[in-house]
Amino acid sequence: MDINPRQIYGNWRSGWALDIHTVSSRLLPDGGYDTERTELGELVFQLKDRNDKSKVESIVEVAAKFVKEKYSVDGHLILPYLKAIVPIPPSDTNRVFQPVTEIAQKMGKHLKLPVKTDYLIKIKQTVPLKNLPD
């Protein structure tokens, strides 16, 4: 699968977004949308918005391959620096199946890393990022 990783910057050694989700989207006369997604974006859409749990493994394969092969900005492989996977708490805590947690658990198995689901805890209900106007 083709991905277009983009480096993201912050208070960490190095980080990446594996790809953008949506390439384009236009409103249709019937109120629906004609949306073009990247390959990875389509997998994420099918998983989160269509509840297709079969997409988890494909997403994990792409992400794990990237982590195993990617070099950080200082020329060293990323994987030896990783000590754990810390998934972000879900925006919808009422959802029975939590895609981010499921992906994190499978990534942990692929990369032989512990998954720490109790490091970040959601203390109040918030609006999902996709519903924010800007």
Q: Domain count for the chain, please give it.
A: 1
Average pLDDT over residues 88-99: 85
% pLDDT > 70, the chain: 96
User: Is 42 within the bounds of a domain?
Assistant: yes
Average pLDDT over residues 55-67: 95
The whole-number pLDDT of residue 18 equals: 94
75 pLDDT higher than 80? no
Question: Whole domain around residue 86: which residue ranges?
Answer: 6-131
116 pLDDT higher than 90? yes
Residue 43 CA to residue 131 CA, distance in Å, equals 20
User: Is 72 within the bounds of a domain?
Assistant: yes
Residue 16 CA to residue 1 CA, distance in Å, equals 17
Residue 81 CA to residue 37 CA, distance in Å, equals 32
User: Is 1 within the bounds of a domain?
Assistant: no
- Could you tell me which of 18, 102, 15, 13 has the C-alpha nearest to residue 54? 102
The whole-number pLDDT of residue 16 equals: 87
User: Is 77 within the bounds of a domain?
Assistant: yes
The whole-number pLDDT of residue 133 equals: 72
**pLDDT band, very low/low/confident/very high, at 128 (cuts 50, 70, 90):** confident
User: Is 52 within the bounds of a domain?
Assistant: yes
**Residue of 36 and 76 predicted with greater confidence:** 36
Residue 107 CA to residue 58 CA, distance in Å, equals 11
